[in-house]
């Protein structure tokens, strides 16, 4: 493992503290969601703008129950003010946004919703999801649906964050749709929305499931400097049955305009496999290595891993969680200052404060490369009280190194989740 890690970064006042191996981290709840008034259940990561404002989405709540896009702005006294940028009506405008939004160079926001849009039988009557744009104006933000998925064959249920290229085209994944090859409502797709042609959709890859491909790409895509795209699928792989449970893949553009898939790794389906299984998040690139998480597997604990794929080398260096130090990592990690930071949806304090997370309330962790291994420090373990529980959306860091994330439950009587800041 190389120690010179790097990655380029895009772009309430309740305090808690936890001592772990001599390391103290403070957590501050900066917002508690109240369901009908401002949304509930944030599942996607946050993003920061140049002024230090945070932007994110909630799967539910809001004026119509279809979720929201929100902004949190810091005040001089240390508090934060929330502004709802858009309330989804769960109709043609989309519904249930569960991933991060992204800015373009003009200050417009782009994102996806899992459902809503065109209603049809391919998506159980709920709508197959949309790609949307939010444009700021003097009267607030205006939503425009750029594309509404139809299921088979163009894709359904976009669930990962979008990425932009230099021309302003959008790239993402759908967890369903495409072809129904032993998959419920399709195995998923990777797609591009081409801006120059009025946001027309172009399929980059249609996932086929095992024994030749993966299925259910939940985590979105990541560009490298050559224009290749990287991602994971939750199931499938190069062999069937008990031999495969998810892949890491590369999509490479060709001179003819077509994209080709290259499977970088097939994860083992047995729970005790050290490399993990069931990757549900996107990946990051660190010194050419592909770094991600699996929600299961990882040795005797089988509570998930952080994995590192080294080009040209066999084996998958990884860190396996054992519940007390975290469990069920379903979000990508963040690389900063030679270390990795992330969250696990479960693990940590085992008080079962949140009914959906019986294996603990979740943790914020730090991984340090040391002698070819990853050494973990738990920065914070959620109590399931006012601080919330179930962090599933990943972390973002400001220039000072403070970490921001969300929990999708807890935080108050509405049980709608929180936005938190961790100050290492």
pLDDT in tens, 349-401: 988 778 777 789 999 999 998 877 899 999 999 999 999 999 999 999 999 99
Dmax over CA atoms of the chain, in Å, equals: 57
- Judge contact between 231 and 190, C-beta under 8 A: yes
Both tokens assigned to 315? 């084996």
Both tokens assigned to 240? 């069937």
Q: Which residue's structure tokens are 């969250």?
A: 343
- Judge contact between 284 and 332, C-beta under 8 A: yes
Residues counted in the chain: 424
223: exposed, middle or buried (C-beta count within 10 Å: 0-12, 13-18, 19+)? middle
Both tokens assigned to 64? 């119509």
- Structure confidence at residue 15 (pLDDT): 40
| HSE (side-chain half, CA atoms, 13 Å) at 275 | 18
The whole-angstrom separation of Cα 287 and Cα 240 is 32
Helix, strand or coil for residue 37? Answer: coil
Pairing of strands 109-113, 102-103: antiparallel
Q: What is the pLDDT of residues 23-68, one digit of tens each?
A: 347 999 999 999 878 999 999 999 999 999 999 999 999 999 999 9
**Residue 374: which of 312, 286, 296 has the closest Cα?**
286
DSSP 230-260: EEEESEEESS-GGG-S-EEEEEEE-TTS-EE
The whole-angstrom separation of Cα 301 and Cα 360 is 14
| Contacts for 225 with CB less than 8 Å, ≥ 6 apart | none
| Contacts for 81 with CB less than 8 Å, ≥ 6 apart | 72, 73, 75
The whole-angstrom separation of Cα 424 and Cα 420 is 13
Q: Show the low-confidence residues of the chain (pLDDT under 70).
A: 1-24, 240-244, 271, 314-315
**Other residues' Cβ atoms within 10 Å of the Cβ of residue 412:** 17
| HSE (side-chain half, CA atoms, 13 Å) at 196 | 3
Both tokens assigned to 396? 């973002």
């Amino acid at each position: 493992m190389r120690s010179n890690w790097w990655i380029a970064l895009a772009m309430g006042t309740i305090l808690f503290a936890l001592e772990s191996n001599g390391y103290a981290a403070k957590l501050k709840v900066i917002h508690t969601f109240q369901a009908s008034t401002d949304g509930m259940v944030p599942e996607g990561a946050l993003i920061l703008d140049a002024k230090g404002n945070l932007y994110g989405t909630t799967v539910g709540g809001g004026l119509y129950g279809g979720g929201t896009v929100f902004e949190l702005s810091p005040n001089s006294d240390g508090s934060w003010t929330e502004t709802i940028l858009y309330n989804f009506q769960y109709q043609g405008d989309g519904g249930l946004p569960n991933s991060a939004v992204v800015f373009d160079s003009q200050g417009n926001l782009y994102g996806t919703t899992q459902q809503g849009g065109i209603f049809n039988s391919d998506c159980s009557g709920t709508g197959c999801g949309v790609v949307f744009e939010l444009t700021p104006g003097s009267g607030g933000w205006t939503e425009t649906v750029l594309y509404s998925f139809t299921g088979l064959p163009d894709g359904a249920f976009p669930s990962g964050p979008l990425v932009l290229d230099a021309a302003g085209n959008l790239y993402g994944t759908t967890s369903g749709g495409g072809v129904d090859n032993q998959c419920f409502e399709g195995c998923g797709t990777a797609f591009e929305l081409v801006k120059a042609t009025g946001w027309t959709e172009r399929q980059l890859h249609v996932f086929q499931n095992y024994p030749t491909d993966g299925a259910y790409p939940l985590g979105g895509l990541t560009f490298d400097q050559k224009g290749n795209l990287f991602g994971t699928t939750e199931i499938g792989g190069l062999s069937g049955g008990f031999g495969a449970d998810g892949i890491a893949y590369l999509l490479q553009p060709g001179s003819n305009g077509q994209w080709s898939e290259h499977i970088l790794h097939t994860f083992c389906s047995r729970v005790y496999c050290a490399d993990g299984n069931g990757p549900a998040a996107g990946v990051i690139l660190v010194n050419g290595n592909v770094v991600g998480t699996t929600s299961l597997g990882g040795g005797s604990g089988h509570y998930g891993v952080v994995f590192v794929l080294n080009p040209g080398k066999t084996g998958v260096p990884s860190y396996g969680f054992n519940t007390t130090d975290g469990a069920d990592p379903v979000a990508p990690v963040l690389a900063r200052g030679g270390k990795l930071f992330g969250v696990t949806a479960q693990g940590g304090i085992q008080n079962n404060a949140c009914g959906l997370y019986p294996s603990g309330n979740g943790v914020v962790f730090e991984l340090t490369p040391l002698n070819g291994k990853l050494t973990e420090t738990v920065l914070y373990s959620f109590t399931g009280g006012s601080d919330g529980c179930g962090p599933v959306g990943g972390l973002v860091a400001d220039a000072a190194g403070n970490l921001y994330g969300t929990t999708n439950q807890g935080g108050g009587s509405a049980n709608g989740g929180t936005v938190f800041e961790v100050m290492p």
